[in-house]
Amino acid sequence: MRWSVGLIPDLTGRRALVTGATSGLGYQTALALLRKGAEVVIAGRNPDRVAEAARRLSSETGRQPDVLDLDLADLTSVRAAAEKAIASYEQLDLLINNAGVMATPLRRTADGFELQVGTNHLGHFALTLRLMPLLVKAPGPRVVTVTSFMHRTVPRISEGDLRGEGPYGRWDAYGKSKLANLLFMYELNRRAGDQLTSVGAHPGFAATELQSSGPRLGGANLEARVLSLGTRLVAQSAAAGAWPSLYAATKRDLAPGSLIGPRLMEWRGKPKVVQASRAARDPELARRLWSWSAEATEIDLPTS
């Protein structure tokens, strides 16, 4: 039997935190989890947008999500969000690291890191490790890290890429941030695999605001319009784009370290297990990235 949202098991009594849940994939992920009975926390950097997303989710499901202020481009905000969650909840069953930025001009995070790698990878790296006290209290906790097929466009990532050193390309930096997501997913599984299940997901080509927001930020309005039109013509819906994340989050007996993507050429369709690039599966590169990230964010898993 092919997977469908209807096959998601009852999630009553389980708590999920979804980053970037004000629109697009994150919103659709939170919506489906609420409908299946989960207690959902939606996190985002704009309090007004988070509140409005919570209102719409409540209207659609009859169930009220919690909200959490979280700016992944500011490690102080990440620390404060994690501390608030730890003070508010007894455990966390699902963490879905979904938020991201795409193809932005060269910008810096509050801590001086290149914006795309800093937001998409370092922010989620720090958030996950700071939420470990909640995750380890849950029975069978799971962390889903959302990546992109664009991780296949880059062969490597270096420590200098975290700071945007050297020539900068918007799409190159995005690909590196998505490669970093997968390297983190696999290394988290190796380092904390006895405490949680770490898996990945990518949406294929899904219609969200993400494709045009980066070019628009850089003033490339024509590119933004072309990308927006192409997205509407070719991409699957945001609801369908969320299927891999939902499958990765809720499929029983999913092997640790699995990557889930769309069935049809990994662009669209029902979710299935797919294979990451060779670079993403390089354990030595993953270990180096973990070390660089731990130094950059000033947090690491305790060693035994």
Q: Are strands 268-274 and 259-264 parallel, antiparallel or unpaired?
A: antiparallel
Evaluate whether 130 touches 192 at the Cβ level (below 8 Å).
no
Residue 54 burial (C-beta neighbours within 10 Å; 0-12, 13-18, 19+): buried
Closest CA to 185 of 123, 273, 133, 124: 124
Alpha-carbon distance of 38 to 14, in angstroms, equals: 5
Evaluate whether 153 touches 147 at the Cβ level (below 8 Å).
no
Alpha-carbon distance of 167 to 173, in angstroms, equals: 10
Considering 27, 89, 174, 247, which one is annotated as catalytic? 174
Alpha-carbon distance of 230 to 199, in angstroms, equals: 30
Q: Which two tokens stand for residue 187?
A: 């290394």
Q: Where are the beta strands (DSSP E) in the chain?
A: 15-19, 39-44, 66-69, 94-97, 142-146, 197-201, 259-264, 268-274
Place of tokens 């890191």: 113
Q: Is 284 left (phi over 0), alpha (psi -120 to 50) or beta?
A: alpha
The three-state secondary structure class of 95 is: strand
Per the annotation, the verdict on 174 as an active-site residue is: yes
How many CB atoms are closer than 10 A to CB 259?
A: 24
How many CB atoms are closer than 10 A to CB 3?
A: 18
Active site residues: 174
